[in-house]
Structure 1
Amino acid sequence: MKNKMETDSAGSVTVQSADYEYNTLMRLLGVSVSKHLMDEHFTLIWANDFYYELIGWKKEEYETCFHNRPDLYYADYQEEWRELTETVMDAIEKHLNGYHLVSKMPRKDGGHVWVQICNSFSDEYVNGFQISYTVMTNIDDLVRVQKEQSVTYSNLPGFVAKYRIDEDGFRFMHANDRFTESFDGFTENGLYNRITNYESEQNHAAYRQNFPLMRIGKPVRFTLQAKDRTGGDMWLQVNGDCVDWWNDNPVYLVIYIDVTDITEQRELRKQLEERSEMLHNALKSAEQANRAKSEFLSRMSHDIRTPMNAIIGMTAIAGTHIDDRERVINCLEKITLSSKLLLSLINEVLDMARIESGRLSLSEEEFSLSDLLQNIITVMQPSIMDKRHHFNIHAYGLRHEHVVGDPQRIQQVFLNILSNAVKYTPDNGEILFEIREKHSRIQGCGCYEFIFKDNGYGMKPEFLQKLFTPFERADDADIRSIQGTGLGMAISQNIVRMMNGDIQVESVYGEGSKFTVILYLEVCEEEKLDLKLEETFPVLVVDDDRIACETVCERLDEIGLSSRWVLSGEEAVEEVEKNHRRSEDFLAVIIDLTMPGMNGIETTKKIRAVAGPDIPIILISAYDWLDYEEEALAAGANGFVVKPMLKSNLVYTIKKYVLKENMESNARPQMQSERSYKGKRLLLVEDNAINREIAEEILGQTGFAVETAENGLDAVERFSAVPEFYYDLVFMDLQMPVMDGLEAARRMRGMNRKDADSVPIVAMTANAMKEDIEASIAAGMNAHLAKPLELELLYRVMEKYAGG
């Protein structure tokens, strides 16, 4: 459902971005942030590192001992637990949005730490229980300083006294001058039996009510009546706080404030001022949140438009070359790649949430480094060419091209780094991408080092310290206008670390940066490369980059071909002409496209002029060939290969252009299932007309007889009306009007018919979070496919549930 997906994605991005800003702020302040269920245990769902540092427990120990239940953690601290639960219940009963509390937090070492707890109730619910978010600030130092140093009594307003609360009364310790001049009643042993200098039942009642609380160290607030120096009546607000303990007896600091002349009007004014300040602060916070939200969405807009530009541009190119099958297929490949990149950008913010909560998972699949590199070049080429950068790729010692890992996440990391290199390097800059396979001490794994160098703006040392912090961007004048999310490097570092790798950065401000990514990838057994060539003449390699010449020649030697190399087009023409005169033409000529002076196309023309049409000429470049294809073919080039020329690329090139073998690219998108499901029926449940048309077309190409329903209720009625085992497969959207997909699946599973339990029901939805998948399975669905659909996964599901 396109419109719905866009609405949900945008809403999700907004919510998640606010969460990231809040969590990032909390980390910078060094406070504990946690998320709880509002059940009887206040179950802990998630907490940051400061939460565990605060209580002195490691996360794993805490989970093992207390099972994320704060009530078990407070088992030996019932008074603190009671105070906390009463505060929570009071806030709920008063319909407040949260609560604030200063309390003692128990620690693993048996001690405690004073914390200020700020809690907010959210609108989220899990399993019927409301979610709350808690921020705890360590105020232990402040409390202890207040307790140990007390106050300079003479500078405090009102009467100030310090008592030790013994079993039989108040034992006077210190007081300011105003107190000693106004009150009496001390016994010879320092025992003070009354609270003020005025005997009244109200004062005695206050004593009886608050003395037990003071014996256990609780703060007290109450009003007393007293006499001034002239004998006149006065009213005192008593504020007493326990500041220390002496031989199991609490020590209190008590401040008496004269409130006799405070009128109702003054109290009202105070309340209005407090509320005005609260509203001002709330408005200020809202404005800051809106600004941060706007800045974030602005940065995201730029990154989203890049693949959108590729999709729109390649669609236009395909439309103008509709009769050129190869060109259209190439455009479709790029549209597919850019679409995947666009989806990854939309999910970038969600990735941070998954990383923070430990829910980001990695796939394990076999892939080719050559394919990975060419995908990256395809995505990056438009922005590289737009800024006229000189881009090159060098590969050293790659013994294993086929590895096992998560190619999408690796590509995400590399694109993040390369995108930054392109953006933060002025026009006509130099960008180099190097790949090395180094010796690995891990059996069955190769150690791969990927290095990204640029001569761009570079970074200041102070920014390097926070480069991998979410939402952080350098604020230099030269790059202030360059947009970005501020999330890419934080995500990249976390992905690399999840792969047990490392990412390092070196940078000199004003000179450029160097990123090094080290990954350990499981290697696959390499296919034997057999060219079946008789003794031949050498291959000539032409490139102004000496390293590129040497590495290509090394690989030619590895596959059994001799080689020579030269560093310019002029030298290449001389070599070809000299060998042609001796009737010893080169087996093939491999020429770099973008050489200074005489470029690859000009060199090709001159070689054709002196050697004729028989020598295969292959152009190579770190850029794609579409913009040069027509001119290159007209000059006499036979084909084009994208750098770096790995061993498999060379074998493919020699077989295709020298041996004239019919080579089909493995990179073409699989547009339809290889298996036919003719004679089988499928029910497609989708409320969005465009999505329904797309799915119906794709599924119809497989041979299925596709029937459709526009909502869950329609699907239930259709299923109940047809004979048993009529449908072989059901694809069900989740979010639909009238009845959603989850309820529809539950009703179909609950029907009294033989196929109710067995008919495969597969979710086909834009709801792609982990909890959505769990909800689908819980409702009785067999599998979950996320939109936009990946054909390979779709066909795999069809084969599993309808291929028998």
Structure 2
Amino acid sequence: MIEEQNPWKKRFERERNARKESEALLEEKSIELWQINQDLEKEVEKRTKDLESALIEANKAHKAKSDFLANMSHEIRTPLNAIIGFAQYLSKSEKLDTKDSKYASIIETSAVSLLSIINDILDFSKIENGNFEIFKNKCETYKLCKNVVELFSQKMGEKYIDFNFNFDENIPKSIVTDEVRLKQVISNLLSNAIKFTQEEGSITFNVKLIEKNDNLALLLFEIIDNGLGIPKEKIEAILTPFIQLENVTNKQHVGTGLGLSICNNILKLLDSKIEIESEENKGSKFSFYLECNISSELEEELDEYVEEENYNINVLLAEDNSANQELMKLVFEELKLNLTIATNGFDVIEKYIHNPNLYDIILMDINMPEINGIEAYKEIRAFEKKKSLNSTPIVALTANAIKGDKERFIDLGMNDYLSKPIKLPELKTLLSKYSKK
């Protein structure tokens, strides 16, 4: 009987030992897996920290680059503001003879060209960094187009170009779009047409209404020239950055090769694109469609602010750059307006607090030493609140030209915005607007 039980006992022992070995092996493997899991968690934690550190460094580098671009924009535009402004004044001065007036005009044209190149480089950098944005506002359609045309009238006159501007009278008076960027696109296309159209050639600028309902309008912009044209194999390539077309009349490449690429990026953000039709030695047509909201509000607003030369307004200007101070003195002297200049942030606060009822508007340079324009603005508003005074309109002036500047300053509570170099028509419109208040 005992002998019969031995095989079962041995079998039981074997199974028990096998189970113990399995449990021991399982425990050993569990410990190994736990250790591996711990190591993986540590590795994931380390990698996460590394990625977070890398992201922080990337953000720092991105901010440093943005700050650098903002600073470079300010540093370059500030002297250009004075160069362009004084050149414009001299070229129109009756005190200069024809020869000197021509030289002043050349200085102005060269400075404006330099500004255009700087703008292209800065815009391309914004596009590369994903910082290029569209800011839509209400604007007057015809006036927008007419202002661009007037910018190029002298250049076209110098080349004896036959220019035709056709604006559909059924187009809504006011639309909602990015006025600055739309002007940039039209300006670039007109500038290219002038560059590649020979003397006594022709350029036509058409603005057509394709369709309209109560809220939306579809517009077509066309710029047609009988210039040099573009070889078929190069039409697609010219929308690529850094591609320059050769002006066959002088065998030189013209421009940076960025303008059309930037324009196409602007139009993409406006849900459009540049369309090109061209035939070599016969001419080109550049066009784009623009769908935009119709604004009825602006038509009422525009009627309120009719531009006048007889302004009744006292201006306080905060400007630390001596050349720009002299330029603004000259401009306001020509406009027969009262101008008080503050040389820094502390000075503008002191002058305003000393006589707050004297000034109808404050033009506030944002980038000033010691105390900047934003801090000065806050101090003035705090003083007005403490003394229960009406808020004096404060307009931000900046040469930074960085995305969202206008919106940022308006959100802070500033009343308006002007970018440098300051354009006289924009300044006149602004002064006319606030002289009514």
- Provide TM-score, normalisation by structure 2: 0.59
On the 8 A contact 1:672/1:698 being kept in 2, the answer is no
**Which residue identity is paired with 2:135?**
S
Quick one: which of 404, 408, 412 aligns to 2:184? 412
Summarize the alignment of residues 574-613 of structure 1 with structure 2, pairs less than 5 Å apart.
Answer: none
Q: 1:519 Cα deviation (Å)?
A: 3.1
Aligned to 2:371: 739
Q: Distance in 1 between matches of 2:273 and 2:404?
A: 31
Select 2:347's aligned residue among 705, 711, 714.
714
Alpha-carbon shift at residue 372 of structure 1 (Å):
5.7
Spell out, residue by residue over 1:736-769, the C-alpha distance to the aligned partner (whole angstroms, 9 max, x if none).
Answer: 3343333444455567982388654543443443
Cα distance in 2, alignment partners of residues 752 and 486 from structure 1:
50
1:754 aligns with 2:386: yes
> Is contact 2:349-2:379 (8 Å) kept?
yes
> 2: CA distance between counterparts of 1:313 and 1:746?
35
Which one has the bigger helix percentage? 2
Query: What is the aligned partner in structure 2 of residue 361 from structure 1?
Result: 135
| 1:364 counterpart SS class | strand
- How much does 1:404 deviate? 2.7
Q: 1:444 to 1:511 in 2, by over 3 A?
A: same
Aligned to 2:262, the other structure's residue is in SS state helix
Residues 463 and 731 of structure 1: is their aligned pair in 2 closer, same or farther, counting only changes over 3 Å? same
For 1:448 and 1:762, the matched residues in 2 are separated by: 32
- CA shift, 1:511, in A, is 4.4
Question: What corresponds to 1:769 in structure 2?
Answer: 402
Higher relative contact order (CA 8 A, sep 6+): 2
1:231-270 aligned within 5 A:
none
Shift of 1:488: 1.9
Query: Structure 1's 726 and 87: CA in aligned 2 closer, same or farther, altered over 3 A?
Result: same
Runs of 5+ unmatched residues, structure 2: 1-39, 69-79, 98-106, 297-305
The answer on whether the counterparts of 2:307 and 2:428 sit within 8 Å (CA) in structure 1 is no
For residue 319 of structure 1, give the secondary structure of its aligned residue in structure 2.
coil
Please state whether the residue corresponding to 1:732 is helix, strand or coil.
Answer: strand
Distance 1:83 1:736, change over 3 A: same
- Counterpart of 1:735, as a letter, is N
Q: Which amino acid aligns with 1:742?
A: I
- Which residue is 1:791 aligned to? 427
Give deviations 1:354-401, integer Å, cap 9, x for gaps.
554242323322232xx5665555444444455555x35375975447
The equivalent of 1:227 in structure 2 is none
| Counterpart in the other structure of 1:83 | 47
Give CA-to-partner distance per residue, 1:140-168, whole Å, 9 cap, x none.
xxxxxxxxxxxxxxxxxxxxxxxxxxxxx
- Which has a greater percent of strand? 1
1:505/1:739 Cα in 2 relative to 1: closer, same or farther (>3 Å)? same
- Aligned equivalent of 1:423, options 190, 195, 212: 195
Distance in 2 (alpha carbons) for counterparts of 1:493 and 1:724? 47
The alpha-carbon deviation at position 471 of structure 1 amounts to 2.4
Distance 1:89 1:750, change over 3 A: same
Q: 1:379 to 1:745 in 2, by over 3 A?
A: closer
Partner of 1:489: 260
Corresponding residue of 1:122: 61
Give distance in 2, aligned partners of 1:447 and 1:436. 9
Does residue 518 (structure 1) correspond to residue 285 (structure 2)? The answer is no
Cα 1:121/1:736, change in 2 over 3 Å: closer
Partner of 1:458: 229
Give the secondary structure class of the aligned counterpart of 1:420. helix
1:33 maps to what in 2? Answer: none
SS for the counterpart of 1:467 is: helix
**How many Å apart are 1:785 and its aligned residue?**
3.9
Shift in CA distance, 449/315, structure 1 to aligned 2, threshold 3 Å: same
Q: Secondary structure at the match of 1:513?
A: strand
Aligned-residue offset at 1:505? 0.9
Corresponding residue of 2:276: 505
8 Å CA contact retained: 1:425, 1:455: yes
Q: Contact 1:724 / 1:753 at 8 angstroms: preserved in 2?
A: no
1:347 aligns to what SS in structure 2? helix
**Which whole-Å deviations, capped at 9, do the CAs of 1:600-623 have from their partners, x for residues lacking one?**
xxxxxxxxxxxxxxxxxxxxxxxx
Q: Which has the larger radius of gyration?
A: 1
Residue matched to 2:319 = 686
Q: Is the 8 A contact 1:745 1:780 kept in 2?
A: no
2:399 counterpart letter in structure 1: A
